[in-house]
């Protein structure tokens, strides 16, 4: 991991973007003992409005808590992608839900997963955010799988632990397969 990583998750209200950001921040700060800031942002609409979760992750104290240009952008809606994609660096890893986002031609690294479709296959579209977290964990070095699992279990509602863990593991396996299909290279970011 670089000295400072900036992660932006974006989508629309109701997708669990804010919860996903909280889970990542909690995993990093509590279970990996690193420094992290978490800044959620959502519109006045509870569902359907644009939302994002910004995280800064560092081994050192974070002196500036806001993202300038993310090292990783996770987009789970077209509107979120369209709004935040132009603010990326050339080396930003862009991760999208391939059923909900149609990316522009770019030289940036792009990885995709059918997170919503996988969640539907599990019987609950609401866990698409957790599928995405599993994928993100597999394809980056932002956070360890052990820390993410602990954070996930601490954050999800009681009675949904098994479903959420299945969603995470399916996303994680999909990410490992994606890395394997792309050839030999280390986890990104």
Domains of the chain plus CATH, in order, are 4-181 (3.40.920.10)
Which among 189, 24, 10 is positioned nearest to 108, based on CA atoms? 189
Q: Is the pLDDT of residue 112 over 90?
A: yes
Q: Give the bridge partners for 40, in sequence order.
A: 53
CA distances in angstroms from 6 to 9, 37, 128, 131, 187, listed in the order given: 10, 10, 22, 20, 16
Residue 182: pLDDT band by 50, 70, 90 thresholds? Answer: low
Q: Is the dihedral of CA 38, 39, 45, 48 positive or negative?
A: negative
Give the model's confidence band at 90: pLDDT under 50 very low, under 70 low, under 90 confident, else very high: confident
Percentage of the chain beyond pLDDT 70 is 91
Cα 55 to Cα 2, 86, 117, 142: the distances in Å are: 14, 18, 26, 11
What per-residue confidence (pLDDT) applies to 133?
A: 98
Q: pTM value?
A: 0.91
């Amino acid at each position: 991991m670089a000295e400072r990583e900036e992660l932006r998750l974006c989508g629309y209200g109701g997708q669990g973007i804010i919860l996903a950001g909280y889970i990542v921040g909690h995993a990093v700060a509590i279970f990996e003992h690193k420094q992290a800031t978490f800044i959620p942002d959502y519109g006045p609409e509870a569902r359907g409005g644009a939302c994002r979760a910004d995280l800064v992750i560092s081994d050192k104290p974070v002196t500036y808590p806001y993202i300038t240009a993310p090292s990783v952008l996770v987009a789970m809606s077209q509107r979120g992608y369209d709004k935040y994609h132009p603010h990326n660096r050339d080396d930003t890893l862009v991760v999208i839900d391939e059923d909900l986002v149609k990316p522009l031609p770019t030289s940036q690294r792009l990885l995709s997963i059918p997170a919503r479709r996988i969640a539907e296959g599990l019987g609950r579209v609401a866990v698409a955010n957790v599928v995405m977290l599993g994928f993100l964990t597999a394809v980056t070095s932002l956070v360890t799988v052990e820390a993410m699992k602990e954070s996930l279990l601490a954050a999800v509602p009681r009675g949904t632990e098994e479903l959420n863990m299945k969603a995470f593991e399916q996303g994680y396996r999909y990410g490992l397969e994606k890395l394997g299909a792309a050839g030999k290279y280390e986890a990104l970011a």
